[in-house]
Structure 1
């Protein structure tokens, strides 16, 4: 490109003031720098945009012809600059979250983000861990909040919150009054579990290693509320995040079961693409997540 935006700014300033000194002052330039910019612009195209009348510069026919197009070009350049500058302040975010996080944790964070940055939108895609991970890897989401883990080398997994899975049943279930469940109890029960690919199912399978193949899985459902309803109806027992069960335990509609010798703890993660530009919005979201406990006090 043979011209610069600065040269065009000088051209418009001179056209407005009809004087190189005043034009230079309006652009916070020295007179010599403004004169050089205008001269270079004309020399590069072997043209003359002004008639010299003493110390005055009077725009000529060619100058008048190109002036509107120069004004339009600079306006578009300023608009682009404004859009680029917006990346210095948090903007819209596309989030993905697994069911437990999306239904019980993410909404508070979204409300806090939008309250802090009015006019900024946050969209939330709720799916199981494998789907969220795939969408982050394909740049369809800015950030994922997941319950499981993945081996995708293109992604960064940031440990977030600690969680605990809880085995539970209805108050009328035969196991409801047992102090501790043995492996035999776990094998004799009918199970209602989350679907394969979910973070909850992944953590449950790990916790039940050595016993998994002998469990009687009656149903696999995608939604935690459907699982809880089935358990309340006496269909079987299940295992979900403690986060999803607090109200049911408090009301007595479901009963927590104590499982011996099984590690039911797990980690929630934030997942981002390693090549994803960390915009101000992404940085602020990560900051909120790092301070989640203080945020929700």
Structure 2
């Protein structure tokens, strides 16, 4: 075989970091060792894998072509190593989750996985749907858990569980005691919403089809808790996932508004790169997610 797994590790680290010295630091190598590994890989096959732009190395067309295959090969090699060692450890698993999922579901699932696999190395990144999907595409994350609808030719988008948005207000808001909320009420209200690019915002806009241009959006905030605090302060009404509001509804600090004529149903999804090898750790994570419904 004309290449080594170490050469592929260096290639992928440089692809992630876009810098040899940063990649070397991640791999605990000297900069010269990392540079030599990349140079040897390119020379062995008489190919250049990066465009050199100052100190930054950016994947060229050939590099982008082999990157998914290299990612898959290294993942399979790691999985084989665990099998040979007779360990069922998940290894290093990089999870991405959107805010509602990350803050209210993923942490407990991660805790259960670490209980079952004490030696597992699991990282969790929480961001909006657009950010998580891009990092899955770039192989910066092994798997994403998202709440927004998504289509991409390089991604497997797999339904996970149902969810529902809820419209809510403070107990002091004029709508708090209404038995049914009309479209006129929705149009007259001041809204505090998630930012564009979030799955929650996407689902909200779909639910408000027909009246969306008439709505008054007073504030756009990136964090679920910030929206809840702003609504509690009676700055407007909001719309978030039911799972993020259950405790507040029980305490009475927020009131759910009945909007039966609007469809707030949606789904959560797993997303994986189509060329990502599904290691034992990924499979175990997905199984735990499904069992948590």
TM > 0.5 between the two? yes
Partner of 2:235, secondary structure, is coil
Preserved CA contact (<8 Å) 1:145 1:270: yes
Report the Cα distance in structure 1 between the residues aligned to 2:79 and 2:267, rounded to whole angstroms: 37
SS at match of 1:179: coil
Q: In structure 2, what is the equivalent of residue 127 of structure 1?
A: 127
Taking the TM superposition and a 5 Å limit, the aligned residue runs for 1:1-297 are: 84-86=80-82, 89=88, 90-293=90-293
* Kept after mapping to 1: 8 A contact 2:147/2:268: yes
Q: Which structure 1 residue ranges, 4+ long, deviate > 6 Å from structure 2? A: none
Residues 97-151 of structure 1 show CA distances to partners (whole Å, capped at 9, x for unaligned) of 0000000000111111111111111101100001000100111100100000112
Cα RMSD between the aligned structures? 1.5
User: Measured at CA, do residues 139 and 192 of structure 1 come closer, stay the same or move farther in structure 2, by a change above 3 Å?
Assistant: same
Alignment check: 8 A CA contact 1:87 1:279 kept: no
Q: 1:87 to 1:208 in 2, by over 3 A?
A: farther
Could you tell me which residue of structure 2 aligns to residue 77 of structure 1? none
Alpha-carbon distance between aligned partners in 1 of 2:140 and 2:292, rounded to the nearest angstrom: 25
Please give the secondary structure, in 2, of the residue aligned with 1:172. Answer: coil
Go from structure 1 to structure 2 and tell me whether the alpha carbon gap of 1:148 and 1:82 turns closer, same or farther (over 3 Å shift): closer
Aligned to 1:21: none
Please list every run of 5 or more consecutive structure 2 residues that lacks an aligned counterpart in the other structure.
2-76
Cα 1:112–1:198, aligned 2, differ >3 Å: closer, same or farther?
same
* Distance in 2 separating the partners of 1:244 and 1:87: 39
CA drift of 1:285 comes to 1.0
CA displacement at 1:260 relative to structure 2: 3.4
Note if contact 1:133-1:144 (Cα within 8 Å) is conserved in structure 2.
yes
Matches of 1:292 and 1:92, distance apart in 2: 22
Alignment deviations for residues 49-81 of structure 1 (CA, whole Å, 9 cap, x no partner): xxxxxxxxxxxxxxxxxxxxxxxxxxxxxxxx8
- Aligned residues between the structures: 214
SS of equivalent to 2:179: coil
2:35 aligns with none
Q: CA deviation at 1:84?
A: 3.9
Secondary structure of 2:96 counterpart: strand
